[in-house]
Amino acid sequence: MASIARQTPLLRQSCLSAFRSPLASRNAAGVSQTVAFHASAQKQILPPLPQTVEGTLNDPAPVPEPHPSHGSYHWVFERAVCVGLVPLTIAPFAAGSLNPVTDAILCSLLVVHSHVGFDASITDYFPGKRVPKTKTIFSWLLRGFTLTTAVGLYELETNDVGLTETIKRVWKA
């Protein structure tokens, strides 16, 4: 036990030195004045994207041209799809089996809801001005996955038992 007590300061000093930055300044007592992990590193994991400034500091911010599919119409459409999904999701399990037309509407709203949500994520995380090629690639991938999902749900509706019956069967399995 005494040997461990004698080794503890040496062990503590060697462990702390692993976390100290070589650029850390020390005060009069020899204690490091910087934190163990820095918030800003000299080398970042990924380099920053190219940044450009268009115009001068005194130019006003550009106002995009209004478009009917953006802004409040777009927001109202998204909310209408979300609100429409609630009863269509609960009804088949509360009242029994649904009409194939209602099941098809549920599938359509699910596809639209998923597409709009993922498109908003792509727009938020990959802005067209900063990474136009990446945004284009992800937008086309989203369109492909949306089309594939729509065709798959159509096949499930027309050639099989339907979405809600499939969910019921999977739930009971």
Residues annotated in the binding site for a ubiquinone, as ranges? 125
Tokens of 29: 């007592």
Predicted pLDDT at 65 = 83
Range 96-171 classified under CATH 1.20.1300.10: yes
Q: Return the ∠ at Cα 31 (arms to 27 and 36), rounded to 5°.
A: 115
pLDDT tens figures, 85-139:
999 988 888 877 678 888 999 999 999 999 999 999 999 999 888 899 999 999 9
Question: What residue numbers does the annotated binding site cover?
Answer: 113, 125
Per-residue pLDDT band at 11 (split at 50, 70, 90): very low
- Residue ranges for the known binding site for heme b are 113
Each residue's pLDDT tens digit, 71-86: 778 888 999 999 999 9
Q: What's the rounded mean pLDDT across residues 3-32? A: 51
